[in-house]
Amino acid sequence: MTITIQHRLSELGVVLPAPARSVANYQPYVRTGNLLFTSGQLPMRDGGFTSMGKLGEGVDIAAGQEAARWCAANILAQAKDALGDLAKIKRLVKITVFVASAPAFTDQHQVANGASDFLVEALGEAGNHARSAVGVPSLPMDVPVEIEAVLELH
């Protein structure tokens, strides 16, 4: 029996949130050929942000990892909205993780692990991906993490 992505999410205790709609002149995702690109996803859970602020300045690594995890869950919510079924994901190609960081904070990669670990748990082998983790001075609405993704489709 093949374990589905939905089954893995259930085992992780994760119910995907409703996909966020764009609030400006952009699309939450774009499909071209066999690739799906998501716009940057924020750490939304239960209608609010998991945390706010900057890493190294009021937000610790554990809270940053939790924020990254929920950004990743929102990526999957967008993919489900775009595809109708997460089984259409062949593999996660790459994620770019933006981390709002105090000037001396240099552990963006550790924050990004929250998303990477979750995506491998949720997608199995198809979740192994390339990644960039980038420190930035601020993000929209003062969230600590924003993540975009590229997925290959069946």
Name the H helices within the chain.
5-11, 61-83, 108-123
Under a CB-based contact definition with an 8 Å cutoff, are residues 54 and 101 in contact? yes
Q: What whole-number distance in Å separates Cα of residue 63 and Cα of residue 13?
A: 18
Under a CB-based contact definition with an 8 Å cutoff, are residues 129 and 93 in contact? yes
| Residue 124 CB-half CA count within 13 A | 12
Inform me whether the pLDDT recorded for 1 exceeds 60: no
Under a CB-based contact definition with an 8 Å cutoff, are residues 96 and 50 in contact? no
Nearest to 151 by CA among 87, 68, 67: 87
Residue 122 has what pLDDT? Answer: 96
pLDDT tens for residues 35-89?
Answer: 999 999 999 999 999 999 999 999 999 999 999 999 999 999 999 999 999 999 9
Residue 103 has what pLDDT? Answer: 97
| Domain 34-153 CATH (choose: 3.40.50.300, 3.30.1330.40, 3.40.630.10, 3.30.70.20) | 3.30.1330.40
- Maximum CA pair distance of the chain? 49
Inform me whether the pLDDT recorded for 126 exceeds 70: yes
Residue 3 has what pLDDT? Answer: 79
Tell me, yes or no, if the pTM score tops 0.85. Answer: yes
Residue ranges of domains in the chain: 34-153
Return the sign of the alpha-carbon dihedral for residues 73, 75, 76, 81.
positive
Query: Strand pairing of 130-136 and 89-100?
Result: parallel
Q: How far is CA 31 from CA 26, 54, 83, 84, 128, in A?
A: 13, 32, 9, 13, 20
- Phi then psi for residue 145, to 5 deg, are -145, 140
Inform me whether the pLDDT recorded for 2 exceeds 80: no
Inform me whether the pLDDT recorded for 23 exceeds 90: no
Residue percentage of the chain with pLDDT more than 70: 99
Under a CB-based contact definition with an 8 Å cutoff, are residues 133 and 95 in contact? no
Residue 145 has what pLDDT? Answer: 98
